[in-house]
Amino acid sequence: MSKRTERAAKEQRPPVPSPLPVPIADSHCHLDIVAGWGWDTDRTSVVEPTHPDVARELDDAHAAGVARVVQVGIDVPSSEWAVALAEHDSRVVAAVALHPNDAPKLDDLDGALAEIEKLAQRPRVRALGETGMDYYRTDETGRAQQERSFRAHIAMAKQYDKTLVIHDRDAHDDVLRILAEEGAPDRVVLHCFSGDAVFARECGRRGYFMSFAGNVTFGNASMLREAVAVCPEELLLVETDAPFMAPVPWRGRKNGPFLVGETVRFLANHLDRDLESLCATVDANTTTAFGDW
């Protein structure tokens, strides 16, 4: 296959899967990037929350049995976008935050945090996130500011009774340490869970939700499959993190909320669970984590 043919294949949108037996939610997605990143363009364009491409993504998700989504911000503009979409479309609730890789780059971190705090008080905002710690893309020079941002988001989540959505990459011990030092909010979600079974057991002991993305289906993800096997049933969530990490058999394609069911089907097989029962459990857990839509 030529590179041009291979690229064309990757740009083809996967078909909408058959609907799940019980509707579920995508607990973490970035529809602003999904809709703004066309099949034959880069992802520099930003569409309005009312753009037809955004509605199409939500309609396709609904057709696949994904009735609800959590739209997640990573900076002030994308957080404002998330709130606008949630206020426009009842299928969506918002999470707002400064991403841990972006926080160290800000000249006015306090000013950005103040804007996030304003957004956090809006009724359709259910979470502060994604925040956290990332030692893969942020080196030691930026980690103090990253940690300061994380602590500020924890404080806001507690003050406004919002769920805390954590981005944790290569920083498991420090994430747990900071949560213990600050005192964790009532609801904590480890987004795109990336730890092993030992870390999963500790998160379960602390009552933290673990959200698994499409990468759990990848052939090289045995560690994640071991982790999900020990995740307490009542703490299991699923997500796309769209447009990233489309599940097998669509790995390498642009992901969307309509594909989260492929991850659930994989997990039902891996965990030897009835699909309908697993969907009902995941949906109930999402409501516990983020409230009713």
Average pLDDT over residues 210-235: 98
Average pLDDT, integer, range 25-45: 76
pLDDT score for 46: 81
Indicate if the pLDDT at residue 44 is higher than 70.
no
The reported pLDDT for the residue numbered 36 is: 84
pLDDT score, position 2: 56
- Determine, yes or no, domain membership for 179: yes
Q: Is residue 213 part of a domain?
A: yes
Give residue 213's domain range: 20-290
CATH of the domain at 212: 3.20.20.140
In a domain, 11, yes or no: no
Whose CA is closest to 67, among 98, 25, 97, 121? 25
With H, G, I as helix, E, B as strand and everything else as coil, classify residue 228. Answer: helix
Give residue 43's pLDDT.
44
Is residue 10 domain-resident?
no
- List, for residues 125-162, the tens digit of each pLDDT value: 999 999 999 999 999 899 999 999 999 999 999 999 99
- Identity at 179, one-letter amino acid code: L
Name the residue type at position 18: S
pLDDT per position as a tens digit, 65-118: 999 999 999 999 999 999 999 999 999 999 999 999 999 999 999 999 999 999
Strands (E), 201-292: 209-212, 236-238
Q: Does 113 fall in a domain?
A: yes
Res 3: pLDDT: 59
Do residues 67 and 25 touch, judged by C-beta distance below 8 A?
A: yes
Mean pLDDT of 195-204: 98
How confident is the model at residue 184, as a pLDDT?
Answer: 98
- Residue 206: inside a domain: yes
User: Is the pLDDT at 186 greater than 70, yes or no?
Assistant: yes
Does residue 217 fall inside a structural domain? yes
Tally of domains in the chain: 1
Is the pLDDT reported for residue 239 higher than 90? Answer: yes
Confidence at 29, pLDDT banded by 50, 70, 90: very high
Name the band, by pLDDT with cuts 50, 70 and 90, for residue 12. Answer: confident
Query: What does the pLDDT average to over 206-216?
Result: 98
**pLDDT, position 8:** 52
**Alpha carbon distance 212, 237 (integer Å):** 6
* Residues 164 and 128: beta-carbon distance below 8 Å: yes
Domain annotation covers residue 71: yes
Out of 9-13, 69-73, 183-187, least confident range: 9-13
* Predicted TM-score of the model (pTM): 0.94
pLDDT of residue 79: 98
What tokens does 129 get?
């996130």
Read off the pLDDT band of 40 (50, 70, 90): very low
Return the minimum-mean-pLDDT range out of 1-10, 16-25, 180-189.
1-10
pLDDT at 256 over 80: yes
| Chain centroid, CA 287 distance in Å | 15
